[in-house]
């Protein structure tokens, strides 16, 4: 469909971006009946206005809307609970051949103690750093656009790489979760989470008590997509919404 004016085209571009969290330059050009160069000019202008953030292959929501707290700040919160939850995740990997780890801070705590012989898939730099030092793991890194706030790779290249994979288990995090689904503070990270969900035979959600009932800018999956929830304080509404709930006792558990 062609748009009568450049402002009208840009408003449609913004509408699509707001709905999806990410837009592809090539797909926009095809949908709007204009050249890739025209779309790139539109995105450049909108970025100058602070309304989009250009990334490889397209654009995402601007920084205030798609970035949460920096990785190190989040890792320093609820540390005992995160250690306990990470330790409780390890028995779920017994007999598993392949596992994907997303870019959450709780999930990163599992990486140093993963069982030998696993194939490990991740877009998280802390996870890849922990696994690269080991000779008893096969490591597949998902590259793409580096996002400093999450210390991970994201964007269309990361998503495309994840969509070509099949793993036994994915260990997943969320900025928040509730009866209506799982939330991410980062639109780019959310699309990678969706791809990892589709690639996994079993989905395990690792969330501490502070995430229950919290909403964030991007809803990336329904609760029904999760097979197992590990948390230190299971809320009552979680009963019946997932296959298994594992309540974790918080103490001075150390992983690694």
The pLDDT value given to residue 220: 94
The pLDDT value given to residue 113: 94
Give the rounded percent of residues in the chain with a pLDDT score beyond 70: 87
What average pLDDT does this structure show over 76-105?
88
DSSP states of 186-230 as a string? Answer: -HHHHHHHHHHHHHEEEEEEE--GGGBT---SEEEE-GGG-SEEE
**CA-based Rg of the chain, rounded to a whole angstrom?**
19
Crossing angle (nearest 10°) for helices 6-20 and 36-48: 80
Q: Which fold has domain 71-247?
A: Rossmann fold (3.40.50)
Q: Specify the higher pLDDT residue, 166 or 4.
A: 166
The pLDDT value given to residue 142: 96
DSSP states of 99-148 as a string? Answer: EEE-S-HHHHTTGGGPPTT-EEEE-BHHHHHHHHT-SSSEEEE--SEEET
**Extents of the domains making up the chain:** 6-66, 71-247
Q: Above 90 in pLDDT, residue 192?
A: yes
Total residue count of the chain as it appears in this document = 256
- Nearest-angstrom CA–CA distance, 131 and 153: 16
The pLDDT value given to residue 73: 47
- What is the CATH code for 6-66? 1.10.10.10
The pLDDT value given to residue 93: 97
What average pLDDT does this structure show over 205-228?
91
The pLDDT value given to residue 111: 94
What average pLDDT does this structure show over 248-256?
60
Categorize the per-residue pLDDT at 237 as very low, low, confident or very high, splitting at 50, 70 and 90: confident
Average pLDDT, the chain: 85
Q: What is the DSSP letter of 82?
A: H
Full strand arrangement of the beta sheet holding 119-122: 138-141, 119-122, 98-101, 167-172, 200-206, 228-231, 244-247
Categorize the per-residue pLDDT at 74 as very low, low, confident or very high, splitting at 50, 70 and 90: very low
Categorize the per-residue pLDDT at 251 as very low, low, confident or very high, splitting at 50, 70 and 90: low
* pTM of full prediction above 0.85: no
What average pLDDT does this structure show over 41-48?
85
The pLDDT value given to residue 241: 87
The pLDDT value given to residue 24: 86
């Amino acid at each position: 469909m062609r748009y009568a004016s450049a402002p009208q085209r840009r408003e449609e571009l913004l509408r699509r971006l707001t709905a999806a969290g990410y837009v592809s330059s090539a797909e926009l050009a095809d949908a709007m009946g204009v050249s890739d160069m025209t779309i790139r000019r539109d995105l450049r202008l909108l970025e100058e206005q602070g309304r989009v953030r250009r990334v490889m292959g397209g654009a995402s929501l601007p920084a205030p809307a798609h970035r949460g707290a920096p990785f190190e700040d989040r890792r320093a919160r609820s540390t005992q609970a995160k250690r306990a939850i990470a330790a409780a995740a390890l028995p779920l990997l017994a007999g598993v051949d392949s596992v994907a780890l997303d870019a959450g801070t709780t999930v990163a705590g599992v990486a140093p103690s993963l069982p030998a012989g696993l194939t490990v898939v991740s877009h998280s730099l802390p996870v890849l750093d922990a696994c690269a030092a080991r000779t008893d793991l096969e490591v597949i890194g998902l590259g793409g656009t580096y996002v400093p706030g999450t210390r991970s790779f994201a964007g269309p290249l990361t998503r495309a790489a994840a969509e070509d994979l099949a793993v036994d288990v994915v260990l997943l995090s969320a900025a928040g979760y509730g009866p209506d689904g799982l939330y991410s503070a980062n639109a780019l990270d959310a699309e990678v989470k969706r791809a990892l969900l589709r690639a996994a035979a079993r989905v395990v959600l690792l969330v501490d008590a502070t995430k229950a009932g919290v909403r964030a800018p991007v809803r990336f999956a329904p609760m029904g997509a999760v097979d197992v929830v590990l948390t230190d304080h299971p809320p009552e509404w979680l009963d019946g919404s997932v296959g298994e709930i594992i309540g974790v006792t918080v103490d001075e558990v150390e992983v690694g």
